[in-house]
Amino acid sequence: MESISSVDPSLASVPSDESTLSVPSEESQAKRELELLARNVQYLDTALIQTNVARLSQQVAHITGALKSTLARVTGQGITEVAAAAGVAAQDGPGPSSNGADGTEVGAAKPLDTVAPPGLAPGGVTGRAKVQKMSAEVVDSNPYSRLMALQRMGIVKDYERIRNKTVAVVGVGGVGSVAAEMLTRCGVGRLLIYDYDKVELANMNRLFFRPEHCGMTKTDAARKTLQEINPDVEVESYTMNITTLKGFEAFKSSLLGPDGNSRVDLILSCVDNYEARITINQVCLELKQNWMESGVSEDAVSGHIQTLIPGVTACFQCVPPLVVASGIDERTLKREGVCAASLPTTMGIVAGLLVQAALKYMLDFGSVSGYLGYNSLKDHFPTMEIKPSEACVNSLCCQLQREEEARRNSAVAAAAAPLHEENEWGIEVVSQDETPSINPAAATVSAPTPAPTPSSVSISDLTEHRPAAAAAAGTGTTAATLAAGVEFSMPTERGVDAVTLAAEGIGQVEATTEDLMQQLLSLSAGGRSL
């Protein structure tokens, strides 16, 4: 053994069993060898041995996990697909797409695996299998029970409609990554994520990303994590810079469906610069696509979300940011060694407000604000509606405004038109003071005479509308006809009928009110004289 030979060079060669038996003098040498071995064992570092054993265990666990992952991929995708994926990964790095000359990744989207073995998420990650239909059953194994409770409580009419929705999240940073995770946990049908940057340790103050993601593109890291969270969501990741000419066209084409129209229900803008916002604004105007914009201030204590509907609300160029409106180039504000502040609390709050508005918009519950701000220093949430500007610098926005105005005018004209052009029965409505027609061929529906309100009741009104039975019982004369739809009958439960009322009640007399007052005065004077 090396340890023994290093201690005593004379023991480098160990005699054979035959020589040991044949030469009795070598027994002492064997005994001395055992003594040296026992002495070396005493000097072994127990802590070092335990550390090495722990490292070895970790390596074994890593190899075991890799073998399980490979086996799962072979089971779910086939040996050919796994070999092809391994070859692409070895050739191009973390993503299967290639980059253009300008740094824009122009490869196809990378959708999630569509098949997973039972008990495994796509990609061999331990998780759950796909759920074919959302259920409201309250069991621990149902990932949608608490979401479907919104339907049972009357908040949402049909929550499962979210599986038919497609949302694009542009910018997978502090706000976009959290928004994408929330939408994934809510079970949105398809999610498109866009970014061009890579994960760095400087991003660890935010939510979602983890240290092991460093060096990966944000879209690949987000896709991997979202895939593990909810395999029911179809995720398409695009690593591209949308502000370049090539990126603009690639971004626009990725939003189109087979029919040439937008296949996206809503776009969430979570970018951090003016150029990217202008790009999204232009694409949405060209596709007539509704979108929501979000942002966090550089001091990380305030933020906002805004809903933009082309032609109906202001586009992003109708009311530009103050810096841009002042003619200042946004890029000149950045200084070397100076970065914007970032708080995970503010990022999470703005992302929550954004996804909450998106859910209300897509599932038709509650009200969606045109603009919702957040000021953490004062706990203030201002809201406002921002109307489009007729002087917008974007000609396409002005054109959509004119189209929307024409649509509204046509809707108003349609509402003012008669409901029925033909009037076979000659029915018409006349005002109260018009003389009703007596032509039998043209039956007239006249508005009934309203009963006087308590605040405008007069003596003549009471006489005009008093019950006919009471008037007839008191005076025997015919009283005025009651208003249409009004009926009168005497109460009989307490024995007061028309005969009793005629005998004991006070009927109509010819004396005026002035005569009655004189009689009261004379009675009062007679009482005082007594």
Length of the chain: 530
User: CA-to-CA distance for 358 and 267, rounded, in angstroms?
Assistant: 9
The helix or strand, by DSSP H or E, that contains position 17, with its residue range, turns out to be: helix 17-22
Taking phi first (over 0 means left), then psi (-120 to 50 degrees means alpha), and beta for anything else, what does residue 67 get? alpha
Backbone angles phi, psi at 234, to 5 degrees: -85, 115
CB under 8 Å to 473, separation ≥6 — which residues?
Answer: 498, 501, 502, 505, 507
Query: How many Cβ atoms from other residues are within 10 Å of residue 259's Cβ?
Result: 7
User: CA-to-CA distance for 287 and 255, rounded, in angstroms?
Assistant: 9
C-alpha pair distances (Å), 326 with each of 60, 321, 323: 62, 9, 5
Structure tokens at 52: 């090495």
> In this structure, what DSSP letter does residue 337 have?
T
Largest CA distance in the chain: 168
Distance of CA 309 to the CA centre of its chain: 16
User: Tokens 């029970």 appear where?
Assistant: 145
C-alpha pair distances (Å), 508 with each of 107, 449, 488, 512, 521: 99, 24, 19, 10, 21
Catalytic one among 315, 339, 392, 398?
339
The answer to whether residue 392 is catalytic is no
Pairing of β 234-239 and β 266-269? unpaired
User: CA-to-CA distance for 502 and 320, rounded, in angstroms?
Assistant: 83
- Tell me if 347 sits within 8 A of 178, measured CB to CB: yes
First to last CA, the chain: 148
Per-residue exposure over 358-373, b if at least 16 CB sit within 10 Å of its own CB, e if not: bbbbbbeeeebbbbbb
The sign of the dihedral angle between the CA atoms of 489, 492, 493, 496 is positive
Q: Which residues pair with 293 in a beta bridge?
A: 269, 306
The sign of the dihedral angle between the CA atoms of 216, 245, 285, 98 is negative
Helices and strands (H, E) in the chain, number of each type = 17, 10
User: CA-to-CA distance for 136 and 147, rounded, in angstroms?
Assistant: 8
> In this structure, what DSSP letter does residue 105 have?
B
Q: Which residues pair with 267 in a beta bridge?
A: 168, 291
Pairing of β 291-296 and β 266-269? parallel
Which residues form the catalytic set? 339
